[in-house]
Structure 1
Amino acid sequence: MGKAYRAIGGLSIHEDYVDLLAAEGLDAFDALMSARGEADLDKPGLDRWRQRLQLAVGGRRLYLKRFDRPPASTRMSLRFHGFKSPAACEWHWLERVRDLGVAAPTPVACGGDKAEDRSLLLIDEVPGTSLEKWLPARGPAADRATRRRISNAVADLAARLHEAGLFHRDFYTAHLFVDESDERGIGLSLIDLQRMIEPRIRSRRWRIKDLSALNYSVCPDQATSTDRVRWFRRYRSIDRLTASDKRTIRDVVAKTRRVERHDVKKRGGEESREEPREEPRMDTDGHG
């Protein structure tokens, strides 16, 4: 897994974290598989074979993902794409996007048993707060320049991924972390890469999926249609929309509506937001 990692105790451990894990007795596969976290991060409805924990290790906050006997369908899908385990899959994508210059969690350790029935991935914390939380908490008070820098950073990150043929498949604001303390300006990190793909065909389908997920997760009162088109122009590095761009935007809006209907159905027909959600839309006249 590269020169920066050392094989220890059934794990591949990032060399910068070897001493840290050893000091806590966590430098072995079995030790991490049995470790107790300071917080259980499992979401309601998460498959039982997956577990996510927050660990305090030597004054640092690390996140542990453990996988215990994934279902046959998951294993078949992983093997079809060349991965032995869910942990190895996300490890690969973390390394891939970081090689592109996209900020993502540092892979600290990864390992699995011989049969790959059980596996784990340990990652470091990324700085900042999720864009999902930043928008309602900081967004209204932020000046236009700050909002524009964040918007541009998200557009540039999406463009870099998509131009490299990579698609996140869960490209929501919850998976983008904003760091306003970054000395270089606005820092932006991408998390939860376990479903990322690099398709050889039908890439447009996955582009629309990523863009509609982001469009849906930014509420109507958090960005105007003009803001969204401006974002799209930045994403495409263009000044004016072409006919193809307008068709893409229409497809994104249509997909966004389907995502919303699915979300409402999944929640039992009740909106979780305080106010009914307006129809998401983008004007396609190229102005703004």
Structure 2
Amino acid sequence: MDGWQEFLRTCGLNSFENFISCKGEVVDRNSRSIVYRIKLGDPPSIFYLKCHSNYVRRKASSFFRLEPMIYNELENMMHYARAGFDALDPVAWGWQKDKGGGNSFMLMADLRDYRPLQAYLDNEFLMKSAEKRRTLSSALSSGLAAMHDAGLAHIDFFTWHVFLRPLLNGYKLQPIDLERSIKKGKMFWSSLIIKRSQVDDLASLNLTVPWPLVSFSERMRFFCDYRKKRGMNGSGHKFLRAILKRCKHRGRKRKFIPYGVAERLRK
């Protein structure tokens, strides 16, 4: 929040109630949270305000002390920044505790020069170029491999949570919505949990990249590039079967139906 206090004060955002009552264009909503796209300042700049209602967690180290998931997301931002994914800029956050968990919020600055992966996939000009498609796939496999090598798993690695910034020789990847992300711990079972969750990342990405826009051969090229960049040995058949098994299981959810992959896996 350093450096933002005066700006927020001039915008009339100087109390918890001011933030919670702020409204804008709804860009995401579920049973526990809502995300608004708002404009602040003069000239106006874009920000995203995430508001949670009774969305809390209990950590093993502090089971009897509730914490809002906003705090979990802030902690994960630090883990990702250490791994090189440092584009997210939290401006302000707060929590008002009550018996049910309470309300919390986080205000994020816009990711300038970044666009969601889904926007690139919807770009007809880009998708008509085999070279541009390969560059995009390579950036995705490199970014995901680096994220996983750092002991991180996103959990919700959908195309709308993956943002990319164009570079001279490719793209820079930045995952968003990190509240459910996890990092490998020191306990022996942590490695098993992380490996399973990283399989889920690959399954989630596969389920939300539209079929037949991206072909089977392109998906296999991505899979091979990812394994190569992680230095994974062997044929990869067992690993691929694990990903496809998770795709079939998770693909039952309604949100994956429009992308065509879940239906194809059931055939």
- With structure 1 as the length reference, what TM-score do the two structures score? 0.76
The separation in 2 between residues aligned to 1:81 and 1:166, in whole angstroms, is 26
1:88 is matched with: 71
Query: 5+ unaligned residues in a row in structure 1: which ranges?
Result: 1-12, 282-288
2:253 is aligned with 1:246: no
Change (3 A) 1:77 1:245: same
Cα distance in 1 for partners of 2:232, 2:132 equals: 25
Q: Report the aligned-residue RMSD.
A: 3.2
Counterpart position of 1:137: 123
What does residue range 215-234 of structure 1 map to in structure 2 within 5 Å?
Answer: 215-234=206-225
Aligned to 1:60: 45
Supply the distance in 1 between the matched residues of 2:57 and 2:231 (Cα, whole angstroms): 45
Instruction: Give the match's secondary structure for 1:123.
Output: strand
> Cα distance 1:22–1:280, how it changes in 2: closer, same or farther (>3 A)?
farther
Q: Specify the alignment match of 2:187 in structure 1.
A: none
- Check 1:238–1:84 CA distance in 2 against 1; reply closer, same or farther (3 A cut): closer
Does 1:27 pair with 2:14? yes
Cα distance in structure 1, aligned partners of 2:45 and 2:64:
33
SS of the residue aligned with 2:67?
Answer: coil
How far apart are 1:276 and its partner, in Å? 9.0
SS at match of 1:215: helix
Q: How does 1:89-238 map to 2 (within 5 A)?
A: 89-113=72-96, 117-126=102-111, 127-138=113-124, 141-180=127-166, 182=167, 185-199=170-184, 200-202=190-192, 203-237=194-228
Deviations 1:194-229 (A, max 9, x none): 110124231221121111111111123232232222
Distance 1:133 1:219 in 2: 12
**Which amino acid counterpart does residue 201 of structure 1 have in structure 2?**
S
> What is the SS of the residue equivalent to 2:85?
coil
For 1:238 and 1:191, how far apart are their aligned partners in 2? Answer: 22
Normalised TM-score (structure 2)? 0.81
Q: Which structure carries more strand by proportion?
A: 2
In the superposition, relative to structure 1, how do residues 81 and 132 fare at CA in structure 2: closer, same or farther (>3 Å)? farther
% identical equivalent positions: 23
SS in 2 for 1:206: helix
Q: How far apart are residue 86 of structure 1 and its match?
A: 1.4
CA contact (8 A) 2:136 2:171 kept: yes
Cα distance change of structure 1 residues 144 and 18 upon mapping to structure 2, 3 Å threshold: farther
Gaps of 5+ in 2: 185-189
Equivalent residue pairs, number: 255
